[in-house]
Structure 1
Amino acid sequence: MTTPSEGPGITPPEPEPRASDILGQALGGAARRAGLDPNEERPTGHVVWHAMGGWRGVAESVLPGLVFVVTYTLTYDPSTDESNLPLSLGLSVGLALVLTVIRLIQRTPPSAALGGLIATAAAAALALFTGRGEDNFVPGFITNAAYGTALLVSALIGWSLIGLAAGYLMGEGTAWRRDPRKRRVFFWLTLAWAALFFARLAVQLPLYFAGDVTTLGTLKLVMGLPLFAPLIAVTWLAARALYRRRPE
């Protein structure tokens, strides 16, 4: 028997995907592209290295910022208390452009390098506009604040972003929220990631307001991949332990 709105052979429309499903798929897809799939039995070191993009990814993340700090420091003139800001920014953006062009020539996915180029160029444009070297780091502050806030809020409301990504990767959607152990682990993992972003702000913002460009740039590099890599490893190991296959 059919209802008035459903005739013979007519299937009811499928329910629209929820926001949590869409977000989970996006996060899980990004994690899988980065090589973070708990289903795959690979050494942790290999997974972390792949997530960082290998030597090329490390170079694209570190070299533009390193060139800026080194050039800014070497061109510092104590008599005027100034450095050659245009040269420092130009070399940094130029190197990011070269790395992006190399990816395009070699026909490798340019998304990471292109994103880095856009971020580097935007930061350089702001610093050139204001004439203050420390303003080169403002976009990074905004990114850290946004990521940290999103992660913290998601953990506090019980929809941990780490859990959403893992749930999609493991094919269980949001079913992990009904497992107290998984909810607890994803809660603390998400808080750890939020703490990383807020720690960067806590350490670097005082240096920004003090105008200490050299120390600020150095600490930004130190608090980048060196802190990102171990947290990736912990997240990978914890997620794999949660979904470890049990013998039948």
Structure 2
Amino acid sequence: MPRRTRKSVPPTKPLLRTPLRVGNLDAAAVVGELRQLHEDAEDPSIDRMPDDEELFRALLYLERQAGAVKDDQARRDAAIKRVCLWQYVREQTDIHQARAVADARSAGAEWGDLMPALAVKTPSAAYNKATRLRAAALVAQGEPAVRRTPEAVLEAERRIEARAMATRRAEEEAARRHELLVPVAQRLLDCRNELVEDEDVEFWLEQIEAVLPHCTTATQMVSLGTYVEALVRVLRMLSRHSPQAVCATDEARSAYAAAAELLRR
């Protein structure tokens, strides 16, 4: 039979299967559970076991003292927990090594300088290995799994940067809008006696009045915007029946128009 040729996969094509990972883990808590197992087994050297936060040294101790746990079930549970912790260490290693490489590069290190540290023989191999490490770091940041190729990693990083830029633009726009929102809300309050007498109008004016003096946090600004929007909505609805009766003065009409215009942005 003719040999089936394997189709080449585009280097930027996403992985169909996301690699399984331990992911977030309270490693210190797991080490604490292992400590308890050894204490229950009356491990004679337990006082020499490193602190729960010293993960690597604690794992080496637990490996040396594995035989101190005599009960078969307890020894099996302890070994499985150690396997889990070593897998966690393996996953974290890629992330932190990628950060170290990035720090070295930002400090002016060439790929040739990183060859011994990355245990490779050529600058291109150092670059490729660093790229694979960055792919692991991207997954740890919550990105979908990417192929460990330069093309795939660069494409993923471009997507992350584009999202970050969009977020920054949205935040800047929200900040500009909030700067305008406070004086617009104050103008509506200043004209409250010149606005139509209505139960809903008065309710939303009271909400604006309550939050406006303390409007410093993002949450408070969102609340203020919600109240102004609700007031404008009520005034717009009432104006359909009697446009002239909603605002008694030019100043009130100007304040209402300014709020409506701001909300349209």
Q: TM-score, normalised by structure 1?
A: 0.24
Larger Cα Rg: Structure 1 or Structure 2? 2
The one of the two structures with greater contact order (alpha-carbon pairs below 8 A, sep at least 6) is: 1
